């Protein structure tokens, strides 16, 4: 399951109880497969998924832009990510670019893959007024190919450490003890907390590489080099991440489950006292209303002894693309005035959908600075936007998902006793075969 699908499910799970990170089902503004406009009109067609998150954000952006452009409209076509990816592939292979919308949403980890494989599908932001310096560089880099910006960052996938403060207190710790630490320190304190309270402080889905991939990006490392060649075998940062993951599991500090729902239930039901994941996971955390006021967040641990290691990483997120068939001037101006220029937009969509900005000026607003009762009165949204500015860039390339899947398979084998070096060598061969 992709991080985007997990984020959607996390937010949907929160709808009944969560005014700040809730989502709900609703219909899109449009239907059918209308292509983008090239006639210079005032309507833009948009493809996006998740009615209560991405589509809702677009609807609010439309209202804001209409204040100065009253004849402007959006035709929003609800398009699940898997369907959107299929459409892009089909259109690119058929050459029927007139079937493209003006604007479409792309998962960050799939952005470079699509631009590299289907360059005729994408327009770019070269002639726009977008100030990309107002977005975290790591997020911008997801949609940069050969120095050209092809995407405008939208939702925030910055990772956080969440912990139950009541459990920490029982064991003699505070959230400050887990701030700016290494994974070795996290492991040591986690063992102590487990011994004193009986609660692990982390959980995960067995056989999935999310935690390890977050560790990897936190050090600015990747599964590929700058030329797109796989660097899985002998990757020191990856080996360090896998070694730490093994230690976490073997010590009981991290408990594995077989499915996403079982994973979520570990902290919602109080079995586990913490999470490390994209900020979107807080939607699921807050469904446990009986735990309100008992959670706090901080940055993530870093890998000790690894060059470039930081306490910041990400998991998930998406960016808006302009198609090669777009009314590009209008599309770029609309996106610049809203998702790259409107505090009002982000102040509106955060409370109702949990759509957290990557546009850093949004984090300075009063809405983002509001204390959140569930998290002990901390202004967590402003904090996460600041975290995002420190996340290292991560080279995804055209074969990110093949690489991640191969590493997931390797992790399963390693946990069953296979030598890590051998498992990663096999993963490298698998990806090299896929690339052929």
Distances (CA, A) of 383 to 24, 189, 273, 356: 26, 24, 21, 11
Would you say residue 37 has pLDDT above 70?
no
Whether 35 and 75 map to the same domain: the answer is: yes
Report the relative pairing of strands 295-298 and 159-164 from DSSP bridges: antiparallel
Would you say residue 343 has pLDDT above 70?
yes
Counting the structural domains of the chain, the total is: 2
- pLDDT for position 40: 53
| Cβ-based neighbours of 237, under 8 Å, separated by 6 or more | 215, 216, 219, 221, 303, 306, 307, 308
Cross-strand pairs, 23: none
Question: Does some domain include residue 427?
Answer: yes
Question: Does some domain include residue 373?
Answer: no
Question: Does some domain include residue 383?
Answer: no
| Token output for 398 | 């055209």
- pLDDT for position 344: 97
Which of the four pLDDT bands, split at 50, 70 and 90, describes residue 352?
Answer: confident
| Cβ-based neighbours of 250, under 8 Å, separated by 6 or more | none
Whether 301 and 323 map to the same domain: the answer is: no
Percent of the chain with pLDDT over 90: 86
Q: Kindly state the average pLDDT of the residues 72-82.
A: 97
Q: Tens digits of per-residue pLDDT, 106-136?
A: 999 999 999 999 999 999 999 999 999 999 9
Q: How many residues does the chain have?
A: 436
CA distance 425 to 418: 11
Maximum CA extent, the chain:
68
Question: Does some domain include residue 384?
Answer: no
Whether 309 and 321 map to the same domain: the answer is: no
Whether 175 and 323 map to the same domain: the answer is: no
Q: Kindly state the average pLDDT of the residues 269-292.
A: 95
Question: Does some domain include residue 381?
Answer: no
| Token output for 168 | 């920490």
- pLDDT for position 36: 57
**Mean confidence (pLDDT) of the chain:** 91
Whether 133 and 186 map to the same domain: the answer is: no
Whether 340 and 298 map to the same domain: the answer is: no
- Which ranges of 51-164 would DSSP assign to H, the alpha helix? 56-66, 81-94, 108-117, 137-141
Would you say residue 19 has pLDDT above 90?
no
Whether 337 and 359 map to the same domain: the answer is: yes
CATH of the domain at 236: 3.40.190.10
Whether 128 and 232 map to the same domain: the answer is: no
The neighbour count for residue 136, using CB atoms within 10 Å, is 26
- pLDDT for position 29: 39
Would you say residue 217 has pLDDT above 70?
yes
Which of the four pLDDT bands, split at 50, 70 and 90, describes residue 3?
Answer: low
Question: Does some domain include residue 14?
Answer: yes
Whether 127 and 254 map to the same domain: the answer is: no
Q: Is 162 left (phi over 0), alpha (psi -120 to 50) or beta?
A: beta
Whether 153 and 163 map to the same domain: the answer is: no
Distances (CA, A) of 197 to 119, 164, 245, 301, 329: 54, 12, 22, 21, 59
Would you say residue 142 has pLDDT above 80?
yes
Question: Does some domain include residue 347?
Answer: yes
Question: Does some domain include residue 372?
Answer: no
- pLDDT for position 242: 96
Percent of the chain with pLDDT over 70: 91
Whether 307 and 356 map to the same domain: the answer is: no
Domain range spanning residue 212? 159-313+393-435
- pLDDT for position 66: 98
- pLDDT for position 436: 86
Which of the four pLDDT bands, split at 50, 70 and 90, describes residue 325?
Answer: very high
Whether 190 and 175 map to the same domain: the answer is: yes
- pLDDT for position 336: 98
- pLDDT for position 6: 52
Q: Kindly state the average pLDDT of the residues 329-334.
A: 98
| Token output for 386 | 């600041």
- pLDDT for position 397: 86
């Amino acid at each position: 399951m992709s991080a985007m699908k997990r984020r959607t499910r996390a937010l949907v799970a929160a709808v009944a109880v969560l005014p700040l990170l809730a989502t709900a089902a609703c219909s899109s503004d449009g239907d059918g497969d209308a292509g983008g406009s090239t006639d210079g009109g005032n309507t833009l067609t948009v493809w996006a998924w998740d009615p209560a998150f991405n589509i809702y954000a677009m609807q609010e952006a439309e209202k804001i832009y209409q204040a100065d452009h009253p004849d402007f409209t959006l035709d929003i076509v609800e398009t699940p990510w898997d369907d959107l990816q299929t459409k892009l592939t089909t259109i690119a292979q058929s050459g029927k670019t007139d079937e493209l919308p003006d604007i479409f949403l792309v998962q960050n980890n799939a952005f470079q893959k699509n631009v590299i494989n289907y360059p005729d599908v994408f327009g770019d932001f070269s002639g726009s007024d977008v100030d990309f310096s107002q977005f975290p560089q790591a997020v911008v880099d997801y949609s940069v190919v050969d120095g050209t910006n092809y995407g405008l960052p939208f939702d925030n996938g910055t990772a956080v450490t969440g912990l139950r403060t009541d459990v920490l207190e029982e064991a003699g710790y505070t959230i400050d003890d887990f701030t700016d630490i290494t994974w070795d320190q996290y492991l040591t304190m986690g063992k102590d907390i487990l011994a004193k309270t009986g609660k692990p402080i982390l959980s995960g889905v067995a056989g999935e590489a999310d935690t390890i991939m977050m560790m990897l990006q936190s050090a600015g490392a990747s599964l590929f080099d700058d030329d797109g060649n796989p660097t899985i075998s002998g990757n020191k940062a990856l080996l360090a991440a896998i070694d730490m993951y093994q230690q976490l599991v073997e010590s009981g500090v991290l408990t594995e489950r077989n499915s996403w729902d079982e994973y979520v239930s570990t902290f919602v039901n109080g079995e586990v006292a913490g999470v490390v994941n994209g900020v979107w996971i807080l939607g699921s955390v807050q469904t446990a209303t009986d735990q309100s006021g008992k959670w706090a967040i901080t940055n993530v641990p870093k890998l000790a002894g690894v060059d470039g290691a930081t306490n910041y990483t990400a998991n998930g997120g998406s960016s808006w693309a302009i198609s090669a068939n777009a009314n590009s001037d209008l599309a770029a101006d609309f996106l610049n005035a809203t998702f790259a220029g409107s505090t009002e937009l982000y102040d509106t969509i955060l409370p109702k959908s949990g759509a957290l900005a990557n546009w850093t000026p949004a984090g300075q607003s009063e809405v983002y600075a509001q204390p959140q009762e569930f998290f002990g009165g901390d202004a967590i949204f402003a904090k996460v936007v600041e975290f995002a500015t420190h996340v290292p860039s991560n080279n995804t390339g055209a074969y990110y998902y093949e690489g991640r899947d191969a590493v997931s398979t390797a992790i399963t084998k390693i946990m069953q006793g296979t030598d890590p070096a051998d498992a990663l060598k096999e993963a490298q061969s698998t990806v090299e075969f896929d690339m052929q």
